[in-house]
Amino acid sequence: MKQFITRISAIALLASAGLLLHSNAAALDVKLTDYLAYLEVEHNGEQVRIQRIQDTGNVLNDGFAKTSRKCPPFCIQPMKVAPGVGTVGEAEIFRFMERELPDGSGMIVDARTPSWYKKGTIPGSVNIPFTEFVGAADAPETIKALEKLGGVQRGEVSWITRSFEKLMAALGLFGADQKTESWDFSDAREVVFWCNGPWCGQSPRAINGLLSHGFPPEKVYYYRGGMQMWKVLGLTVVMPESAEAV
């Protein structure tokens, strides 16, 4: 009888918590999507809630409110940044944050230079500047960047092994297309790259640099909207060092 009462109490507690959560979510007038009021991600070891600014009269008043910048260098980027690379929007980013980030199978990379990154970033992002992907294959910063994404450096590979791998890659067998002479990307993470927006070339350069080192394009995604669209939609931005939402 005591166990039964304890079980009923636990169910009631969970139900109350569920109702409270539903009530809090319902209280938001400006939700992320029609099915998602907000979500939480880990940033610098802290939980950060991602939601939209609730003031429907809010407008941007910083640099991201600008409509025009000199081109070059600030030229409009194509929707398709490279063959095999998917382009994603905010709703896809939310799903990625809920699924791939928690289990470590995915990363979101802020490909901007540190000076941009320090002004605020998307929660859950890791800053790896595009400059670390466009260098020589044996450059220390390039090696470090590829390892962060889950790439594993290979030792000396015989020509027989490489010949077999190339044959298997052509046939689409054994994941051989995930390997190069220098790197094994079989267990590399899925990665979303972003920068300042459709007029910014930093994440496209990072992506193309990454692909030049043999990283599988099917594991790469391009959030073209970047910080510009993130701010236009009133989404949470954090200061990198403190994970403080702004």
Per-residue confidence (pLDDT) for residue 7, from 0 to 100: 44
Question: 157: which residues sit within 8 A by CB, 6+ positions away?
Answer: 181
Percent of the chain with pLDDT over 90: 69
Per-residue confidence (pLDDT) for residue 171, from 0 to 100: 53
Per-residue confidence (pLDDT) for residue 63, from 0 to 100: 85
Flag whether pLDDT at 37 surpasses 90.
yes
Per-residue confidence (pLDDT) for residue 5, from 0 to 100: 37
Please write the tens of the pLDDT for every residue from 165-207. 565 566 564 566 777 777 899 999 999 999 999 999 999 999 9
Rounded Cα gap, residues 29 and 53, in angstroms: 10
**Whole-number average pLDDT of the chain:** 85
Please write the tens of the pLDDT for every residue from 109-163. 999 999 999 999 999 999 999 999 999 988 999 999 999 999 988 666 555 656 6
Rounded Cα gap, residues 94 and 5, in angstroms: 39
- Report whether 196 contacts 188 (CB < 8 A): no
Under the banding of pLDDT at 50, 70 and 90, the label for residue 62 is confident
Mean pLDDT of 62-84: 94
- Report whether 237 contacts 122 (CB < 8 A): yes
Neighbouring CB atoms inside 10 A of 69's CB total: 14
Per-residue confidence (pLDDT) for residue 169, from 0 to 100: 62
- Report whether 38 contacts 51 (CB < 8 A): yes
- Report whether 145 contacts 133 (CB < 8 A): yes
- Report whether 176 contacts 47 (CB < 8 A): no
In this prediction the pTM is 0.84
Least confident of 11-15, 78-82, 193-197: 11-15
196: left (phi over 0), alpha (psi -120 to 50) or beta: alpha
DSSP string, 85-152: PEEE-HHHHHHHHHHTTTTTSEEEEE-S-HHHHTT-B-TTEEE--GGGTSS-TT-HHHHHHHHHTT-E
DSSP state, residue 230: H
Per-residue confidence (pLDDT) for residue 179, from 0 to 100: 77
